[in-house]
A and B are shown apart, each in its own frame.
Chain A
Amino acid sequence: MAILVDARSRILIQGITGETGRAYAARMVAAGTPLVGGTSPGKAGQAVEGVPVFATIAEAVAATGADCVLSSVRPAAALAAMTEVFEAGIRVAVLYTENVPVHDAMRMRALARARGACLLGPNSAGVISPGRANLADLNDARVRAGRIGVVSKSGTLTYEVIDGLHAEGLGESTVVCLGGDPVVGTGFAEILRLFEADPGTDAVVLVGEPGGAMEHEAAAVVRTMRKPVVAYVTGQRAPPAKRMGHAGAVSGAGAEATTAAAKLAALRSAGCTGVDIVTDVGAAMVAALAARRGAHAS
């Protein structure tokens, strides 16, 4: 089991004839991800990596029954692209595109919510359920099917978290990257609820960052969860008000609650095992799982 995407997902790539789209298509087909087609205006009827190209998402959905989309259109086209995606009834959309205007991000988030769909991004590295489906900027060869859920704003940092889990003999049910922008479609809270309900997930790693209140909402959900959560919040040592790479990661001076330290403290007091450095995640997860087994045995 997994969340959001699995072997029964039917996946489209929006912009499949572009450089990024083709690269993703090649990876997906090579790894056995259920890619069923793609779109590219003016290129309908062609094929990429053996899957058909359609003019619109609606036509692709009608022909293939697709329910998931990976999109890497240019920033100026992103809002129109996501509008097309959600109007066609897509359930899960990953918007990989970076530098999307924040007002467009707010509109696409509202559209997704109005349709009951899940938008990851903008600026999301995607979602992968190892061995089942990969809509992510993660290499299939570097993930391992298992029972730990991972949810992170960052893409590259999940590499490190996953390696840490593997070093302890663990693997992943699903890895979800929310996106590094200030306004993204989906927050930690929603993903934690999905992991809590997923019979294929035993525990969760949450990787947050400075800025905003999303990790505080996550802490409120953690209080209601039975599964252990290991949390790391990057930027523990980030100077206030310095932009640290992600547009979303500014812990403005004066906004104490938005600092990484305040967020990690909130997650700890909600019951998470908090770690100060990312290389401690694996060992902390082993300890959290053992503690849970101990609690069940007694």
Chain B
Amino acid sequence: MIRLLEHEGKALLGRRGFAIPEGALFPGLPPTGPWVVKAQVPVGGRGKAGGIRFAATTDEVRAAADAVARLVIGGHDVRAVYVERRVPPGREVYLAAHVDRDLGCPVMLACPAGGVDIEAVPHERIARVAVDPLAGLGDEDAAMLARALSPDGPPPPALRRAVADLYRTLVEEDAELVEINPLIVGADGTVTAADARLILDEDAAFRHPGRRAIPEGTAFEEEARRRGVIGIELDGDIAAMMNGAGMTMATLDQLVAMGGSVRGLVELHGAMARGPDHLAGVVALMASLRPRVLLFNIYFQFRNLDTVAEGIARAIHAAGPGGLPPVVVRIRGVREAEARRILEPLDCWVTDDFARACARAIELSGRPVLRR
């Protein structure tokens, strides 16, 4: 999932033929005002947080940019400040296209009340069209959506074009969401994208040269990603490594339900194939979170457990005596006996039972075990 900043999203919409306001990243600015100064963060709610300010003079632009750059919005530092020429007032409408995971197809959304939080708009005011991904958006559906955005008269041709272009943008850019809120419909029939929220599909990067994920996680999560595993940082006691997404979430549930707390999670993903030294590096990364306990919950039905065991063993050796927090290993499956032989001489606790491993990890973290 790649969340574009507003200015990146607008540049993309501009390439797709949408009219966008003239703009520049501060300290650049469009030659003539009035201006809007906008915080660039990958989340909504900027207006309420003071991240959008108006300016009539270049001095006001500088003052506003300075104030906006210092904001933290929805937990995100402001990454850049974008300065735009203010769009002449017009009717503000909402137009979006997104991938609806439950319907399994693209859905178009149109609402004549734009410029506000769409979640707050009554459901019946939003026109929705589910699109057959094999057929694409039909002319009649596109016309219906344009009419929904123009309740007081026939929609201008530019608005009808915007509806069709938005669907094409969603599909051809392999986007999960393209949202324009507000889209400003001028009295002269022009249509301008005054904001843009886009989420692109990272998995489609092979069709879009240069498409790259934007780092969004903590330093630990980004380092995990570089090492080919999935890392999740939390604020509890136990750092745990699992194979498989379901097992990762299930282990978190189990630890918390039994009275423990989790400092971090690592899902091995494909990293097994990179061998024990690579795995030892991932173990060291887990230890860098300074957890009270390291837990490994690994069940392999095809891969070899001794590879993981060797990785853990190398991490224990590399850290030296007392260099790692207490280690609890649950191993089950292929080459379990071989893996045990590697681990048992070392300073760690080994079992083949999921719940017992969790109980032991919680005990070692210094908390009472609430259920067994």
Contacts and interface: CB of A to CB of B under 8 A. Distances in A.
Given A103-B171, A154-B246, A245-B248, A239 B234 contact: yes
Given A156-B299, A157-B246, A249-B245, A276 B203 contact: no
Nearest to A246: B245
B247 A102 contact: no
Interface stretch (A196-204, A219-227, A230-238): A230-238
Given A103-B174, A110-B134, A245 B249 contact: yes
10 contacts: A99-B203, A100-B203, A101-B203, A109-B104, A154-B246, A156-B247, A158-B246, A160-B247, A244-B252, A245-B267
Contacts of B265: 244
Given A100-B203, A110-B104, A234 B250 contact: yes
B104 A183 contact: yes
A101 B201 contact: yes
Interface string B238-259: 0000111111111011101110
A236 B245 contact: no
A102 B201 contact: yes
Contacts of B123: none
A102 to B, nearest CB: 5
B253 A277 contact: yes
Contacts of B243: 156
Nearest to B44: A254
A147 interface: no
B237 interface: no
Residue of A160, A180, A260 most packed against chain B (CB within 10 A): A160
B201 A245 contact: no
B331 to A, nearest CB: 13
Chain B, interface size category, equals: 35 or more
A84 to B, nearest CB: 15
B48 interface: no
B253 A155 contact: no
Given A156-B243, A157-B244, A238 B201 contact: no
B164 interface: no
Contacts of B248: 244-245
A110 B102 contact: no
Contact of B354 (A234, A237, A279): A279
B257 A236 contact: yes
Nearest to B372: A279
A276 B257 contact: yes
Given A184-B104, A254-B119, 5 more contacts: A76-B206, A101-B204, A106-B106, A139-B301, A279-B355
Interface string A183-220: 11000000000000000000000010111111001000
A75 B206 contact: yes
A188 to B, nearest CB: 11
Contacts of B249: 209-210, 234-235, 238, 244-245, 249, 260
Given A236-B257, A278-B253, A154 B245 contact: yes
B176 interface: yes
Interface string B345-367: 00000000011000000000000
B354 A111 contact: no
Contacts of B101: 182-183, 211-212, 248
A144 to B, nearest CB: 14
Given A111-B134, A235-B252, A244 B355 contact: no
A152 interface: yes
Contacts of A160: 247, 250, 299, 354
Contacts of A212: 101-102
A142 interface: yes
B218 to A, nearest CB: 10
B254 A138 contact: no
B244 A156 contact: yes
A154 B234 CA distance: 22
Interface string B260-297: 00100101010000000000000000000000000000
B230 A245 contact: yes
B132 interface: yes
B13 interface: no
Nearest to B170: A103
Interface string B149-169: 000000000000000000000
